[in-house]
Structure 1
Amino acid sequence: MDFGMQFFPCVGPKLKPADQYFDECLSLAGMADENGYSHIRIVEHYFHAYGGYSPNP
C-alpha cells in the first residue's frame, strides 16, 4: 500500500507569506520522502473567491 500527503492551502498572505508556506511544504515533503511516502498532492480551489496559494486557474 502506498501512502502520501495532501496539502490544502487555505492560508493567505495575511497569515503566512508564500515563501514561508512553500518552505514548510517542502520541509514536510522531505520528511515524508525519508519515511517512505510515495507522493505529495496539492489541491486547486474551485468556486471560491480566494483559493489561498492554490487558486482556481
Structure 2
Amino acid sequence: MEFGIEFFPDLGPGEQSDADYWAEALHLVGLCDELGYTSVRTVEHYFHPYGGY
C-alpha cells in the first residue's frame, strides 16, 4: 500500500504569504518523504478568494 499527501490551500488573501505557505508545504513534503510517502498533490481553485497559491 502506498500513501501520499494532498495540499488544499484554503487561506484567504492576507492570511499568509505565498512564500510562507510554500515554505511550510515543502517542509511537510520533506517529513512525508522521510516517512515513506510516495506522492504529493496540490489542488487549485480558480475564481475563489482562496486556493490560488
Identity of aligned residues (%): 43
Q: Distance in 1 between matches of 2:12 and 2:18?
A: 8
Bigger RCO of structures 1 and 2 (CA < 8 A, at least 6 apart): 2
Contact 1:4 1:38 in 2 (8 A): yes
TM-score under structure 1 normalisation?
0.79
Residue 9 of structure 1 corresponds to which residue in structure 2?
Answer: 9
Question: Counterpart of 2:6 in 1: which secondary structure?
Answer: strand
Q: Distance in 1 between matches of 2:4 and 2:18?
A: 23
Question: What per-residue deviation string (whole Å, max 9, x for no partner) do you get for residues 1-57 of structure 1?
Answer: 1100000001134110110000000000000000000000001215x4334334xxx
Q: Distance in 2 between matches of 1:3 and 1:22?
A: 21
Count of aligned pairs between the two proteins: 53
TM-score under structure 2 normalisation?
0.84
Structural RMSD (CA): 1.6
Counterpart amino acid of residue 8 in structure 2: F
Q: Which runs of 5+ in 2 are unaligned?
A: none
Q: Which runs of 5+ in 1 are unaligned?
A: none
